[in-house]
Amino acid sequence: MNGLSRALCGLAISLALALPAFAQGSRADGFTRLPPGAKVMLMPPDVELYAISAGGIPEPREDWTRAALQHIKELYRERKAKAKVEVVELPDDGDETIEELKRLHGAVTRAIALHQSGQFALPSKRGKLDWSLGPDVGVLRQKTAADYALFLHIRDSYATPERMLAVVVGALFRTIVMPGGRQEIAASLVDLKTGQVLWFHRLQRATGDLREREPARETLDSLLYDAETSQ
């Protein structure tokens, strides 16, 4: 690839990733839905809401983040209650294996987001959702007696356009793409018997507001639609 086409390729990729709206949802082979009576553990959601100034530095907004966290937890419980699925929360006791699992999950999420489909799809995955956290998830099963775990990653920010392109390529492999001024949400459901990621949903868009109850419900609905109960 010569210098010019490399440069063009790089630019094209960044633009592709900067496309306004993107929803990615997939299920592992053989998984359709949570059986009724299933017990799902809600991992402490990894949520951060930001405002991005012209200076380019994201400023965490604690009040927004706290509101979002609360809405998400409550809304998720509501959804599961309707589907007769029990939701348990993990006691946050700083267990090292669990901390490591959270970090590993973050990396797995980024890998899925980047490589399951689209420009960077891995040929070896053949378009399937085939990723695992490995058998260490057993510790989660022990602590909660749950069969599944839901992980949520949320980065929601509001940025100036100038900021956008500058961060895209640089941030490409460091984190879920955060051009800013958008919601970046990833949710995954993990089988706690095997560590397999059963479904993965990602939402990347310029709209949505997690700070208020009803818009947050809309976000969660968009994120989780078709995932478990065709709702």
Partner 1 sequence: MMRALRALLPLALLALASCAPMVMVAPGPAAVRDDFSVTVDSIWNRLTYPGIVFMAPGASEIWTAEGIPLDVLAFYIGVREGDALGRVLERGGKPLASYRAGMTPHEIVELYEQLVTQDGSAFTLGRLAPHRFGGADGFRFEYALTRKHDGLALSGVAYGAVIGKRLTLMAFTAPRMYYFAKYLPRVEAMAGTAQIKY
Partner 2 sequence: MPPRFAHPDPASDEGGWWSQMDREEQRLRASGFLIRDKALNEMVSGIACRLAGAHCPDLRVYLVRTPLFNAMMAPNGMMQIWSGLLLRMTNEAQLAAVIGHEMGHYLERHSIDRIRSAKTATAVGHYLGLALGAVRSSNAGHFANAADIALIAGFLSYGRDQEREADRIGLNLMTQAGYAPLEASRVWEQMLEEVRADPMEGEDFWRASILFATHPPARERRETLAELAGSAGGRTGEAEYRAALAAQRPAFVSDELKRRKFLQTRVLFERLLKAVPDDGEIQYALGEAFRMRDGVGDAQSALDAYRKAQAMRGSPPELYRSMGLLERQRGQHAEARASFARYLELKPGASDAELVRRYMASE
Interface contacts to partner 1, rule CB under 8 A: 1, 5-6, 8-13, 15-16, 18, 100-101, 103-104, 106-108, 110-112, 114-115, 119-125, 131-136, 161-162, 164-165, 169, 172-175, 195
Nearer CB in complex with partner 1: 7/81: 7
Least separation, in Å, of the C-beta of 225 and partner 1? Answer: 25
Least separation, in Å, of the C-beta of 227 and partner 1? Answer: 22
Chosen from partner 1, partner 2, none, partner binding at 94 (C-beta under 5 to 8 Å by type)? partner 2
Chosen from partner 1, partner 2, none, partner binding at 155 (C-beta under 5 to 8 Å by type)? partner 2
CA dist., res. 120 & res. 59, Å (int): 30
Least separation, in Å, of the C-beta of 17 and partner 1? Answer: 11
Least separation, in Å, of the C-beta of 136 and partner 2? Answer: 16
Nearer CB in complex with partner 2: 67/112: 67
Chosen from partner 2, partner 1, none, partner binding at 212 (C-beta under 5 to 8 Å by type)? none
Cα dihedral 9, 178, 122, 227, rounded to 10, equals: -140
Query: Which residues of this protein are in contact with partner 2, per CB under 8 A?
Result: 48, 50-51, 53, 55-63, 65-66, 92, 94, 99, 102-103, 155, 157, 167, 170-171, 174-175, 178
Nearer CB in complex with partner 1: 80/110: 110
Please, what is the end-to-end C-alpha distance for the chain in angstroms?
A: 46
Nearer CB in complex with partner 2: 48/228: 48
